[in-house]
Amino acid sequence: MEDYPTLRDYQQAADFVRQQTRHQPRIGMVLGSGLGDLADEVKDADTVDYVVIPGWPQSRVAGHSGQLIIGHLQGKSVMVMRGRAHYYEGYSMARVTLPIRVMQLLGIHTIILTNAAGGLRQDMRPGQMMLISDVINLIGMAGANPLRGPNDERLGTRFPDMTEVFDAELRAIAHRVALDAQLPLTEGVYAGLAGPSFETPADLRFLRLIGADAVGMSTVAEAIVARHGGIRLLGISGISNTPQAEPGSQAETTHDEVLEAGKALVPRLLTLIRGILQALPTG
Ligand code: HPA
């Protein structure tokens, strides 16, 4: 049976989080594999373990520690998700994206989604950052759209437009910040797959053909729910590996490799995110 949380479920979780913090966060952040240490930078932090939040999907994957960190970063009031649950862990897409609904109900207007991703373009190297210009919702096309099921109009419209999932103005800010800080920042399309197995060489050739620049196992469903809820989005992929489309290339992809590359990316990502937060208007 599919699992469709209701507005009441979202409210219950949001009320619980509200009671655990002195802050009123307006900017949300989701930290992907290996990127969790970024949360250490949050000042005046209130910490809430995912396990105590009603209905919150738990992640059991190494590198995803499972805490909400609410406090200040660069003078802005932020709520940071240190780790996220994934579809491949067995949750419905609606359950995976419950945290985004909680952010919506808490009054968060902007979310920065991050992830570790496999780079599909020739020019991509592990450790590089890619601003997400758009997503390919492969899992959604196959039926597992996070908005499948009853639609509550109080959260968003039945058929939301997805012409501009990632906010053009936020992307321009990110490019400006990267240029000023002399950080290489490319832009590209992120394809979301269910995982947990990595891609076959034929999968990779297919993904390149359909216009994907990076591939991963998260982010897309969160992005769709956030747009449904009217939240502005910025997305950043940390390229952790470059999976090979040629069989026998001896370049295996491992989760450890993804985590290692993530750690190396944290300082660069932090510089970028700090600059972006600084450029955002207060409130
Ligand atoms: N494939 C899918 N997901 C990933 C990868 C990859 O190569 N790297 C990090 N997440």
CATH number, residue 224: 3.40.50.1580
Task: Give catalytic residues, as residue numbers.
Answer: 33, 64, 86, 88-89, 116, 217-218, 241, 255
Domain assignment present for residue 190? The answer is yes
* pLDDT tens digits for range 215-260: 999 999 999 999 999 999 999 999 988 888 777 665 677 777 777 7
CA dist 227 and 77 (Å) reads 21
Ligand 1 touching residue 138 (CB < 6 A)? no
Q: What is the pLDDT of residue 250?
A: 59
Is residue 245 in a domain? no
pLDDT at residue 118 in the model? 94
Q: Model's pTM, two decimal places?
A: 0.94
Residue 2 lies in a domain: no
Q: Is there a contact between 34 and 263 (Cβ–Cβ < 8 Å)?
A: yes
Name the residue at shortest CA distance from atom 2 of ligand 1: 216
Please tell me if the CB atom of residue 240 comes closer than 6 angstroms to any atom of ligand 1. yes
Q: Which of 84, 86, 199, 220 to mutate to test the pocket of ligand 1 (most atoms within 8 A of CB)?
A: 199
Q: Which of 256, 258, 260, 265 to mutate to test the pocket of ligand 1 (most atoms within 8 A of CB)?
A: 258
What pLDDT is attached to residue 249? 65
Rounded distance between C-alpha atoms, residue 177 and residue 270, angstroms: 12
How far is Cα 139 from Cα 191, in angstroms, rounded to an integer? 9
Q: Residue 116 C-alpha to ligand 1 middle, in angstroms? A: 7
Low-confidence ranges of the chain (pLDDT < 50): none
Predicted pLDDT of residue 59: 83
The answer to whether residue 248 sits within a structural domain is no
In a domain, 154, yes or no: yes
Q: Whose CA is nearest to atom 9 of ligand 1?
A: 117
164-177 pLDDT per residue, tens: 999 999 999 999 99
Number of domains within the chain: 1
Q: Which residues constitute the domain of residue 206? A: 7-240+253-279
Measured from the CB, is residue 118 less than 6 Å from ligand 1?
Answer: yes
Q: Residue 257: what pLDDT?
A: 75
d(CA 173, CA 207): 29
Q: What are phi and psi of 43, to 5 degrees?
A: -95, 160
In a domain, 1, yes or no: no
Does a structural domain hold residue 18? yes
Is 137 within a domain? yes
Spell out the residues 6+ positions from residue 60 whose beta carbon is closer than 8 angstroms to its own.
89
